[in-house]
Amino acid sequence: MEDYRKIFRLVRPYWPRVVLAILAGLIVSGLNAALAWLAKPAMDDVLIKKDARLLVLLPLALFLIFLGRGIFTFCQEYLMASASQKLVMHFRNGLYSRSIELPLGYFGKNSSGEMISKVINDVTALQNLLSFTIKDLFKEGATALALLGVAFWRRWDLALISITVLPLALYGVGSLGKRMRRISRRAQEKISHITEFLSESYAGIKIIKAFCRQAGEAGRFEEITRDYYRENMRATRVSQFAALIMEAVGGLGIAFVIWYGGRLIIRGVMTAGDFTSFLTAIFLVYTPAKRLAQINIGIQQARPPLERVQKLLSEPGEQDGSADLPPIRRSIEFKNVSFVYASARQKALHGINLRISKGEIIAIVGKSGGGKTTLANLLPRFYVPTEGAVCIDDVDISTATFASLRGQFGIVTQEVILFNDTIAANIAYGKPGAASEEIVAAAQAAYAHDFIAELPQGYDTMIGERGMRLSGGQRQRLSIARAILKNPPILILDEATSSLDTASEMMVQKALENLMANRTTIVIAHRLSTVKKADRILVLEKGRIAESGSHRELYARGGLYKDLYDLQFSAQETA
């Protein structure tokens, strides 16, 4: 019952359509009953009494009944489809907009393929459930009742006999429902494996080719689809087995009815017309009974996807703060900050204490995996510190709204993320509706204008998925232009110049220097030549600040920084 209530709660906003669809379905049920009803005059009056006037009227009535069935079935299907499609559309939109509000940590645990599968496959399962259950429940339910009514009217004793077998069928079908739920849960998992696999392998097509792994990948895919095939066949067996039970039980009932009814006719207790009408009703009740039996199985089948979607909807989203953070005036401060990734055991940052004054340029260097990106990620609150707090002007950023906090940052991430849109749209991503002069100015500042101007469609060039049609350095310059256009008070540059050649790096470096003026900047770089000019350099070692000072101070100190620096320059000199 709880399942049915849930379904009705879902369709409530679309009730006018649903009610009309149900009404149309009820008319179809009535027409079905009329068909059985008319079997009696057809037999007794036309065939036996040879009534010529009825011979004209009856076929006409039959034609009208069939026509009516067609028309009202059309209305019913159309209305029901529009209600369920509409519901699914809104549901899917809600699911997507909710899912992108989830914290980054959630996406670390759930693959993008899984997410895609939820939004596409699970929601489709929901749609099937709605259109089938609600439609069938009413139409087939009413048809069955109306036909049974005709049967009882004609011969109540025979009708009673023929429904005694019903509990038998219900029991069999009910026990299949539970199995169906298990199978369907597995089938849904399999389909999410398929989407997951596909989204990964198309994204990694270059590596697949480079390592000649096509055959291997095709083999893995075949395994996954074979699993899915097996689960589907299992599901088909169960649901068709339910149909088979109904078939067998129904056959038993009808065989008995014919035997018993035949005897009544032979003894002259019942007319042939009554019997024909009764039999027609019983035959016609058959299809709706079978479908009703399958509704329960359908509901069991739709339960796992519904549960999964509900689980996603109940995930806590990113906790937005309530206060608007004013633009930075004095400083950013890390107060005894430690951080552990949810999926990791070790701390990525240990007790970081750091004060960055407004307008300062801070460079963060250190070995790979030292925690540089992690440190930068805490600033726009991509992640929340496990201990301690990050403050801007002594306000804990966890109390600030995302819009007021993230609006202050321009971020050039380590992995360049671009969207499959035009160059102009990608640059203006953080400032929709920017004037084209602004976009060009930003591109010029990022030394991207020249290569863009050489493209056949210039700023209107589509760059392909994740910017596939551009070179690595070009992509990086676009992401710098994107940060420049936003014109934020705080800049985070994570390896912003790592894929540029030395000549363009120097140019971009100049551009960034212009950009850094009057801004607070956090630069993460492996190439130490790019960090020499920073006001302060921090060396992060295993999540701790090991050294801090200017280039001169740190070099003179002869610690980690000197080692890193010497290593890099001796390597360059040998090259």
Choose from Mg ion, ligand ATP, none: what does 108 bind? Cβ within 5-8 Å by kind: ligand ATP
Residue 22 or 365 having the CB closest to ligand ATP: 365
Cα(180)–Cα(190) distance, rounded to whole angstroms?
15
Q: Which residues contact 515 (CB under 8 A, 6 or more apart)?
A: 445, 483, 484, 491
The distance of closest approach from Cβ of residue 359 to ligand ATP in the complex, given in angstroms and rounded to an integer, is: 24
Choose from ligand ATP, Mg ion, none: what does 343 bind? Cβ within 5-8 Å by kind: ligand ATP
Q: What ranges make up the beta strands (E) of 181-280?
A: none
Cα atoms in the 13 Å half-sphere on the side-chain side of 194? 17
Residue 414 or 514 having the CB closest to ligand ATP: 414
* Residue burial 291-320, b: 16+ Cβ < 10 Å; e: rest: bbbbbbbbbbbbbbbbebbeebeeeeebee
Given its phi and psi angles, is residue 328 left (phi above 0), alpha (psi -120 to 50 degrees) or beta? beta
The distance of closest approach from Cβ of residue 484 to ligand ATP in the complex, given in angstroms and rounded to an integer, is: 23
If you compute the radius of gyration of the chain from its CA atoms, what whole number of angstroms results?
36
Query: Which of the stretches 62-70, 369-377, 416-424, 552-560 binds ligand ATP when contact is defined by CB under 6 A?
Result: 369-377
Give the distance from CA 409 to its chain's centroid.
29
DSSP letter assigned to residue 349: E
Residue 369 or 464 having the CB closest to ligand ATP: 369
Q: In what order do the strands lie in the sheet with 395-396?
A: 349-357, 331-339, 387-392, 395-396
Residues 466-495 that bind ligand ATP (CB under 6 A): none
Residue 9 or 109 having the CB closest to ligand ATP: 109
Identify whether the C-beta of residue 366 lies closer than 8 Å to the C-beta of residue 397.
Answer: no
Q: Binding string, 333-362, against ligand ATP, x = CB under 6 A?
A: --------x-xx---x--------------
Choose from ligand ATP, Mg ion, none: what does 177 bind? Cβ within 5-8 Å by kind: none
Q: Could you tell me which residues are beta bridge partners of residue 412?
A: 493
DSSP letter assigned to residue 541: E
The distance of closest approach from Cβ of residue 545 to ligand ATP in the complex, given in angstroms and rounded to an integer, is: 12
DSSP letter assigned to residue 46: I
Residue 123 or 534 having the CB closest to ligand ATP: 534
Given its phi and psi angles, is residue 415 left (phi above 0), alpha (psi -120 to 50 degrees) or beta? beta
Choose from Mg ion, ligand ATP, none: what does 374 bind? Cβ within 5-8 Å by kind: ligand ATP
The distance of closest approach from Cβ of residue 367 to ligand ATP in the complex, given in angstroms and rounded to an integer, is: 7
The span from the first CA to the last CA of the chain, in angstroms, equals: 76
Query: Which of the stretches 12-20, 23-31, 367-375, 473-481 binds ligand ATP when contact is defined by CB under 6 A?
Result: 367-375
The distance of closest approach from Cβ of residue 329 to ligand ATP in the complex, given in angstroms and rounded to an integer, is: 28
The distance of closest approach from Cβ of residue 18 to Mg ion in the complex, given in angstroms and rounded to an integer, is: 53
Binds ligand ATP (CB under 6 A): choice among 32, 127, 131, 373:
373
Cα(405)–Cα(380) distance, rounded to whole angstroms?
7
Choose from ligand ATP, Mg ion, none: what does 341 bind? Cβ within 5-8 Å by kind: ligand ATP
Nearest to 567 by CA among 516, 531, 511, 526: 526
Q: Which residues contact 477 (CB under 8 A, 6 or more apart)?
A: 443, 446, 447, 448, 451, 500, 504, 508
Identify whether the C-beta of residue 508 lies closer than 8 Å to the C-beta of residue 535.
Answer: no
Q: Binding string, 385-414, against ligand ATP, x = CB under 6 A?
A: -----------------------------x
Maximum CA extent, the chain: 121
Residue 41 or 370 having the CB closest to ligand ATP: 370
| 567 binds ligand ATP per the rule CB under 6 A | no
Residue 288 or 371 having the CB closest to Mg ion: 371
Q: Which helix (H) or strand (E) covers residue 37, if one does? A: helix 15-41
Residue 60 burial (CB < 10 Å; 0-12/13-18/19+)? exposed
Choose from Mg ion, ligand ATP, none: what does 382 bind? Cβ within 5-8 Å by kind: none
Residue 77 or 541 having the CB closest to Mg ion: 541
Query: Which of the stretches 325-333, 342-350, 371-379, 382-390 binds Mg ion when contact is defined by CB under 5 A?
Result: 371-379
Residue 78 or 107 having the CB closest to ligand ATP: 107
Q: Which residues contact 167 (CB under 8 A, 6 or more apart)?
A: none
The distance of closest approach from Cβ of residue 381 to ligand ATP in the complex, given in angstroms and rounded to an integer, is: 15
Cα(70)–Cα(76) distance, rounded to whole angstroms?
10
Residue 452 or 528 having the CB closest to ligand ATP: 528
| 373 binds Mg ion per the rule CB under 5 A | yes
Residue 331 or 499 having the CB closest to Mg ion: 499
Other residues' Cβ atoms within 10 Å of the Cβ of residue 261: 24
Q: Could you tell me which residues are beta bridge partners of residue 339?
A: 349
Binds ligand ATP (CB under 6 A): choice among 290, 308, 372, 486:
372
| 370 binds ligand ATP per the rule CB under 6 A | yes
Residues 62-121 that bind ligand ATP (CB under 6 A): 108
Q: Binding string, 375-414, against Mg ion, x = CB under 5 A?
A: ---------------------------------------x
Residue type, 147: L
| 479 binds Mg ion per the rule CB under 5 A | no
Helix, strand, coil percent values for the chain (each to nearest 5): 70, 10, 20
Q: Which residues contact 86 (CB under 8 A, 6 or more apart)?
A: 14
Binds ligand ATP (CB under 6 A): choice among 97, 314, 368, 502:
368
Binds ligand ATP (CB under 6 A): choice among 25, 177, 321, 371:
371
| 574 binds ligand ATP per the rule CB under 6 A | no
The distance of closest approach from Cβ of residue 386 to ligand ATP in the complex, given in angstroms and rounded to an integer, is: 13
The token pair that represents 195 in the structure block: 């989407």
Cα(233)–Cα(367) distance, rounded to whole angstroms?
53
What are the residues binding Mg ion (CB under 5 A)? 373, 414
Site residues for ligand ATP per CB under 6 A: 108, 341, 343-344, 348, 368-374, 414
